[in-house]
Structures are given as C-alpha cells and as structure tokens.
Amino acid sequence: MDTPLRLEDYFFPHVSTTADPNFSLSDNEEIPFPEIVVNVNETDAKNVFQLAVNISLEPKDDEHIIPYITNLVVIGIFSVAENWEDKIKLLKITGASMLYGAAREFLITITSRGPWDAYKLPTFSFLQAYSKSNPADDQEEDKKKF
C-alpha cells in the first residue's frame, strides 16, 4: 500500500534540557503543558517539504519549579503524494504527530539519565490544534501556538 506521506529523514538540530537542582520529589506542582510550534517549508525538490516542530517547556514563573527546562527542535523531511489535495494539512497533522512521537522518545532517553524521573511529553492532538488555528475559529484564547 502506498502512503500519501513518507518520512524521508529527521534530526534534532537543537536540544537543550536542564535539570533544575531546586526541584524536589515532594513538589506536587503540576508541570505546565509545553509550547508547541509547527512550521512547514517547501524545498527545491517537487513535493518534498521540511517540517519543524519546536517544543519548549519552562516554568510558569520563579515560584513554580519543574524538574526539567527543555527547548527542542525536531526537523523532518517529508515526501507528499503529488495528487494529495491539502499537503500542508497532512504535514501539520500527520507529519507533526510523527515527529512529536520521536521527540517524546528522545526526551525520555535524555531525562531518564537525569536526577529526576524521565519526562514524558503529554499527548497532544495536532488535528485539534490545526482546527483551532483556522482563522474562522473565534476561540483565540484557547489556541496553542501552531
């Protein structure tokens, strides 16, 4: 079966994860949801796109300590079927989901060697984020950066 989206390659050009030494296991502070930004760029090759997913996790303020402060960028190179109608939507939903899963595993690996429990990126719906990024949607305050 041929697929409309094929991941050709992916890599992590920027990874920064810092364990906060002031965090303690007794802290029951809820870890904030990471900021997620998705960008799509066309390449010189026909139907080949570069997709970047930027993930940032920082404390709300100095009073809310979290175990790991993280800024990570994962870039994927994708081929999209020539006859696929909405290539950008396919990339921002399916492609971003693929890269987010790779980022989750990468962060688990990195943080499992840190002083605190491994950090697992929470589940995220790129379909919902894409729908909310639609200019016709008037719920701007609920919109994640996308």
What's the pLDDT score for residue 134?
Answer: 63
Q: What pLDDT, in 10s, does the model give residues 25-38?
A: 775 668 899 999 99
The residue-averaged pLDDT of 125-144 equals 64
Q: What pLDDT, in 10s, does the model give residues 124-133?
A: 999 999 998 7
Confidence at 22, pLDDT banded by 50, 70, 90: confident
The CA distance from 65 to 87, in Å, is 40
Structure tokens at 9: 């390659």
The answer to whether residue 143 is domain-embedded is no
The CA distance from 65 to 67, in Å, is 7
Domain that holds residue 131: 5-135
Is the pTM for the entire model greater than 0.85? yes
Give Dmax over CA atoms of the chain in angstroms: 54
Confidence at 2, pLDDT banded by 50, 70, 90: confident
Work out the number of other CB atoms within 10 angstroms of the CB of residue 108.
13
The answer to whether residue 145 is domain-embedded is no
What's the pLDDT score for residue 144?
Answer: 39
Q: Which long-range contacts (CB under 8 A, 24 or more apart) does 38-43 make?
A: 38/92, 38/96, 38/126, 38/129, 38/146, 40/88, 40/91, 40/92, 43/77
Domain count, the chain: 1
The answer to whether residue 86 is domain-embedded is yes
Is the model's pLDDT at 70 over the cut of 90?
A: yes
State the CATH number of the domain containing residue 55: 3.10.420.10
User: Token pair 């904030």 is at which residue?
Assistant: 32
